[in-house]
Chain A
Amino acid sequence: MADSTTIDADDDQDSGLKRSITGAQLFFYTLGDVLGSGIYVLIGLVAAAVGGAFWIAFAVGVAVAAITGAAYAELVTKYPQAAGSSLYVQKAFNNKALTFLVTVSFLSASFAATGSLATGFASYFAELWAGPPALLVSLVFVAALVLVNYIGITESVVMNMLMTFIELSGLIIVIGIAIYYVAQGDADFGILGDISVSGNPALAVLAGVAFSFFAMTGFENTANVAEETIDPYKSFPRSLVGGMVVAGIVYVLVSMAAALTVPVDTLAESPAALLEVVKQGILPFSTEAMTKIFTIIALVAITNTTLVTLVTQPRILYGMAREDVVPGVFARIHPVRRSPWVGLLFSGLVVGTLLVTGYAVTAAGGGIDLVNRLALVTVVFLLAIYALVIVTCLKLRGQDEDERAFRANTPLLVVGLVGNLAILYYAIYDDPTSLYWCAGLLAVGVVLYVVERLFGSKGTAATAPPLETDREV
């Protein structure tokens, strides 16, 4: 106690500047963020696109994403403010329109991801209680998370780690089942080399990669906590890339496990595909109990990732409002809770609208898989942003250099850029209609921009609402 007082006494100005996120915490934050997103929701789609060898798709997707992660790490150590891709693009190109486009694309991707996760949540939830309709479950899920964010109980680092361990345990169960299965001698390893889809196998894998890429998204959210990381120069690149690589290894193992234990057709048709592994009843325990436990784990995993996306969206909106890019109301902070309640509410509404629209489309036209579509929309945006971030990273070389900053391997970055663009090209080529969805989401951003231009020119963000008016309710 006494010695810390003497340490602080040296300087009034900056004494007691304390950063709180350790490298290990950041590692688990990344891991939890990445692991939760895709694997529970999308593994069936990847299996459908590729066949038994779909682990290759995960391996490729993970590799490309990890390279992008390295570019992020370099930029974060150079510019440790919490801002993410839009800040870097602005620094490199100094083009307002481009920055705005990136921000809106990222937000849209984030909204789409949240919608997709909410649908995935509903699929798993139906295993526990099939009563309520899926749309209702996903809407209530989003509403509940918005409320939780508003209250602020997601801010606990300990809770974050706990959820990550739960997520990890679910995937370890899957891997464990496969190991047990292999040990029994029933496994047919031929399935791991099987690309059953007709046509060019390379294209089939690329299609799978586009889906699997969704499973890697979420890592960019860690840039948000860069500013509060202890010794960011050293710990940030390690934790970010390390977390992604570990997540990637887990993904590859899980997809191998799923391919070995469950027929690919079953995986492809199931909305909650990982559950099929447990349902095979390979382990000598009660399958019913295992199914229940696993479902709860999956729900926790999806919840964790969705929470992070719902933290990020209002944060981005807040930043944009402060820069007068979107209407100033998004910078409004609840006087007591200190949370950006307008931004949160807006995020919730957009995701809700997306879910309802998707449901209406399915009900009216039929045949369109909502999760599938939303995931692909997300991927198109993110791939474009990731490619741009790598370009940005290369362009900012030689500027603001700091010997402490992390420097990503240049040839590797080029490989990553080509990889991102190839997947992007294929994602659009494979499903051109996803461009309509992208356009729709971008339109929301443009409307905001126009509204800001028309009504917000006097710098609405600059005046905090007087406390009294804010507390009318």
Chain B
Amino acid sequence: MHVIVATDGSKQSLDAARKLKSFADPAKIDDISVVAVIRPLAAVAFADDLSAGSRKQAVGEAQGFRAAAESAVATVAAEFDGWGPKVHKRVRSGSPANEIIKAATQYEAGLVVVAAGGRGLSDSVLVGSTAQRVQHYAPCPVLVVRPKPRKPRKARA
């Protein structure tokens, strides 16, 4: 089975990847594709909150959004190191939900893993959530990982 793990560079997407690892049987998974989608027309096309090393740069040495996406993908992919399945790193660009669905079709995925995004007001009032669209239109089952309930500290950093 080919599993697609989507990341938008957020911590939640890393949590989603960990969730998959926490219960899935690596023997049943042949391939994992970690997919990041760059949004070229967005104000910030891709923001990487995951890889610590990428955050500081000298003035003018601005790395592109593509580099940010690649390092986020690398961080998430590193989660699956030594787990078993072959891990592919993929960066696409366009509308996130569309590209995730396209990737799922293209790689004949058996499962798509996404983070649910928010919880609360912004999620219900402002429609257009990527996870929501992936759930509706993906060609395969979708694992939507909800954020953990609010706690003073995260269980695992």
Contact = CB atoms under 8 A, between A and B. Distances in A.
Given A156-B95, A314-B44, A338 B64 contact: no
Interface in A433-473: 459, 461-462, 464, 466-468, 471, 473
Given A228-B45, A338-B9, 10 more contacts: A16-B33, A16-B88, A81-B67, A152-B42, A338-B42, A340-B43, A462-B55, A464-B49, A467-B12, A468-B151
Contact of A155 (B42, B62, B121): B42
Contacts of A467: 11-12, 147, 154
Interface in A325-357: 325, 333, 335-340, 343-344
B76 to A, nearest CB: 14
B12 A335 contact: yes
Given A5-B108, A461-B55, A467-B12, A227 B118 contact: no
Contacts of A227: 40, 45, 64-66
Judged by DSSP, the binding face of B is loop
Nearest to B63: A81
B43 A318 contact: yes
B101 to A, nearest CB: 13
A333 B59 contact: no
B87 A20 contact: no
Interface stretch (A82-90, A209-217, A246-254): A82-90
B126 interface: yes
A13 interface: yes
Contacts of A228: 38, 40, 45, 66, 93
B41 interface: yes
Nearest to A334: B122
Given A17-B91, A18-B91, A225 B60 contact: no
**Band of interface residues on B:** 35 or more
B42 A16 contact: no
Give the most central of B44, B56, B106: most A CB within 10 Å. Answer: B44
B89 A225 contact: no
Contacts of A325: 59
B106 A5 contact: yes
Contacts of A19: 93
Interface string A74-108: 00000011110011011100101001100000000
7 contacts: A5-B108, A20-B93, A149-B43, A227-B40, A333-B47, A336-B10, A339-B44
Contact of A322 (B38, B62, B147, B150): B62
Contacts of B126: 151, 337
A99 B59 contact: yes
Instruction: Output the residue of B12, B67, B90 with the most chain A CB within 10 A.
Output: B90
A461 B59 contact: no
Interface string B123-157: 10010110000000000000000010011111000
Contacts of A336: 10, 117-118, 122-123, 129
A129 B86 CA distance: 61
Contact of A338 (B10, B11, B120): B10
